[in-house]
Structure 1
Amino acid sequence: MDGCLANSPEDIVKEILVRCPVKSLLRFKCVCKNWCTLIKTPEFVQQHLKNHSPPQLLIYDNGDIDDDDDDLSITLISEEHPRRFIGMKQLFGSVDGLFFMVGEIDREISCALWNPGTREVKPLHLPIPVATIHDSPVFGFGLDPLTYDYKVVYFHINNLCEHYASVHSCSRDLWRIFKPKIPYFTDVKHTFGTAYLNGTYYWLLTGGHHSNYTILLFDFGSEMFKEIEGPGHQSVDTNMLGLMSVDSSIAILNLNPRTVFAYDIWVMIQPGVWNKLVTFQCFFRIKSCYDNSLILATKDSQLVSYDVRTNKTRHLGFHHPGLRKDAEYDGGCGVFYYKESLVKIKRRDDEDLDH
């Protein structure tokens, strides 16, 4: 079988390999030089990313909120051999199978990019000393669709109450620091939720010009910030739960104050124009979202997905007591669905994947 496959025409071999999981492809690189070269080409990586393989479930434990900050770490409990990232507390993602993680090591802010499929990790060093940070920096991670460059962005306030933003280019391994022309940054008190869609990162924040909350976006192509209006103050207030994507559009998930355990989903039709898509009742804890589905934890600590379009629920086959708590605020479990990929995040082309 192996000899027959190795002697097949190149296009047939490629069609077979592009359907294989990442773990298998990393082993197949040792079969022959031609396969190794093919699997490492950017064209193959993109074709593999676009195939219709099912998403992977990534579940992590963030420790106990009563522990010291230095003891909190992200531990992957959805893997056969759990992996631990010491000092890391938050995950952002996924973008093409890549995640961005942030934490605190030796009382300094630390961050890194991570591909769980290839197990590749790349630490990123912030361009400013942590001593100048007045408030915790607000991060985002995404893809510049014009240059196909993965970028990290964050904004912060220094000791003089001046706001700054920094953008990291993964392809060039460089930071750019600038002062965004958005005066309300000093009013930002809390981040309700974040989302990435089509080259743009979105934050749902308290403060702003229009109401008691605002939506801030960052375009990874132009590297510019912009504020947009959300649904009217009468419809959405501080009961917001976060952002999600529905039918390739940004949506706000909001707790309905008039009905017990009811939620509204508002979809952005165009910048500043919103439409209420659905109101539904849910007695489970909302952990995450993927496409049109919410990932929920039941009272008996089971994971299920709920499609807001079809109103159908599906069990995901995972159980853990920490699912009853929120990873960021309660020291519980966080959940992501993601598309496994071969995307490299190291700068040098001659560096091989860590696995």
Structure 2
Amino acid sequence: MVNGIIKKLGDDLVNNILVRFPVKSLIRLKCISKRWYTLIQSTTFIHLHLNYQTTIQHEFILFKHSIKEPNEFISILSFLSGDNDDGFNHLFPDINVTSMSSDFNATFYPLLGPCHGLIVLTDLTTIIIFNPATRNFRLIPPSPFGCPQGFHRSVEGIGFGFDSISKYYKIVRICEVFWNPWDGYPGPKETKIDVCDFSMDCWREVEHVNLPLIYWVPCAEMLYNEVVHWFATIDMSMIILCFDMCTEIFRNINIPDVCNNLTHKQYYGLVILRGCLTLISYPNPISPTDPINDKVHVWVMEDYGVSNSWILKNTIRVVPVESPLDVWKNSILLFQSKNGHLISYDINSNEEKEHILHGSPGSLSVIVYQEGLTSISPGSQNSSKVQNF
């Protein structure tokens, strides 16, 4: 009888019902009938479900941290929900991702994303794209572009996003190629831009004009409006370097004038706060702590791309900060403290919390995301297969 009733329901009504279900339930519901399987797998439904999840602001947290063992650092991914006010609940068992690289620095490299529910884990060489809701992942082949003997190719910046024109997910890398003698200072540097289209795992180099020098800090490689953002310097001035995933064109955005003095002991991070690109200015973590004068400033760009639209929204005092991490529930700033703990600060209530989540100082990375059914492209015939973790 139930099956008979289900069959009589129109697709629009079924869509309206199913978009309200979490991904875990939808995966089970695909087994009810061939019709429901086809419907839930369709691009139309995947977009409807993602839009609904974004509207209701049902957020999850991917938490990456490292733990120091006697002979190595262990890198761990934790999948969390934060539905209650007391803290975070673990959705799945933690995953040890240390084996993806033997590079010490990779242990401390942040996550990239989210983009339509997809997230990228990378050590700058190895790239893994995965969906934490469906638990699918795939290894992206490394860039084929090398450099002549005696030279070194260094990845200075990396970004992940979606091209809504080609409908491809892409990785972009800003690289510097330079002569690296064993007994001298590196020679002149040449900038190269690598782009990978995930649909065919195709790497290519992109033409560009002279680019400013990337200024790497944690929480800087931000995706917003299909544009990847980094910090960079021009003539001792800090700017935000932007790469449009659709046009593959670079441009610059100026930061607030009051922030733009590299002699000040300030660091910067980028987050999305209430739908706006937001600059977090905070004391340099390697400087001595000054409890009286150390403050965190929150600057919001009210008109995206217009440099004079920066507005100072908040000035706050928190425990000594290593770096900002992300924004949760549209008003809670997440930081890592200098001692490696996850800190939250609610800009509405001015409430600060230290959570039990922690890791080696400087190793924390957080992605706040909405669940999605977005599938991972299988790539080309020679690509690695989509797997489950």
Q: Does 1:190 align with 2:203?
A: no
Q: How many pairs align?
A: 337
Q: CA deviation at 1:39?
A: 0.8
Q: Does 1:170 align with 2:198?
A: yes
Name the aligned partner's letter for residue 142 of structure 2.
Answer: L
Superposition map of 1:89-238 within 5 A = 89=107, 90=109, 91-103=111-123, 109-129=125-145, 133-160=152-179, 161-185=189-213, 188-192=214-218, 193-205=220-232, 207-209=233-235, 211-232=236-257, 237=262, 238=265
Distance 2:242 2:130 in 1: 23
RMSD (CA atoms): 3.4
CA displacement, residues 178-223 of structure 1 (integer Å, 9 cap, x when unaligned): 24212434xx353352211111111123x324x3422111011101
Distance 1:244 1:33 in 2: 42
Identify the match of residue 320 of structure 1 among 354, 357, 363.
357
Superposition map of 1:278-293 within 5 A = 278-283=314-319, 285=321, 286-290=324-328, 291-293=330-332
SS of 2:15 mapped into structure 1: helix
SS of 1:319 mapped into structure 2: strand
Distance 2:2 2:196 in 1: 43
CA contact (8 A) 1:302 1:320 kept: yes
TM-score by length of 2: 0.75
Q: CA deviation at 1:81?
A: 1.6
Identify the match of residue 265 of structure 1 among 298, 313, 316.
298
Query: Residues 250 and 189 (structure 1 numbering): CA distance in 2 closer, same or farther, change over 3 Å?
Result: closer
Query: Residues 303 and 162 (structure 1 numbering): CA distance in 2 closer, same or farther, change over 3 Å?
Result: closer
SS of 1:240 mapped into structure 2: strand
Distance 1:294 1:321 in 2: 16
CA contact (8 A) 1:60 1:74 kept: yes
Query: Residues 80 and 139 (structure 1 numbering): CA distance in 2 closer, same or farther, change over 3 Å?
Result: same
Q: CA deviation at 1:315?
A: 6.7
SS of 1:135 mapped into structure 2: strand
Residue in 2 that maps onto 1:73:
75
Q: Does 1:245 align with 2:245?
A: no
Residue in 2 that maps onto 1:83:
95
TM-score by length of 1: 0.81
Residue in 1 that maps onto 2:24:
23
Distance 2:69 2:157 in 1: 21
Query: Residues 72 and 166 (structure 1 numbering): CA distance in 2 closer, same or farther, change over 3 Å?
Result: farther
Gaps of 5+ in 2: 80-89, 102-106, 180-188, 285-289
Q: CA deviation at 1:96?
A: 1.5
Name the aligned partner's letter for residue 47 of structure 1.
Answer: L
Which shifted more, 17-26 or 138-147?
138-147
CA contact (8 A) 1:98 1:114 kept: yes
Distance 1:263 1:53 in 2: 26
Q: Does 1:335 align with 2:366?
A: yes
CA contact (8 A) 1:145 1:198 kept: no
Gaps of 5+ in 1: 328-332
Query: Residues 130 and 262 (structure 1 numbering): CA distance in 2 closer, same or farther, change over 3 Å?
Result: same
Query: Residues 263 and 169 (structure 1 numbering): CA distance in 2 closer, same or farther, change over 3 Å?
Result: same
CA contact (8 A) 1:304 1:313 kept: no
Which shifted more, 229-238 or 248-257?
229-238
Q: CA deviation at 1:344?
A: 1.1
CA contact (8 A) 1:261 1:283 kept: no
Query: Residues 304 and 240 (structure 1 numbering): CA distance in 2 closer, same or farther, change over 3 Å?
Result: closer
CA contact (8 A) 2:201 2:379 kept: no
Q: CA deviation at 1:233?
A: 5.5
Residue in 1 that maps onto 2:104:
none
- Matched residues, percent identical? 23
SS of 2:68 mapped into structure 1: coil
Residue in 2 that maps onto 1:330:
none
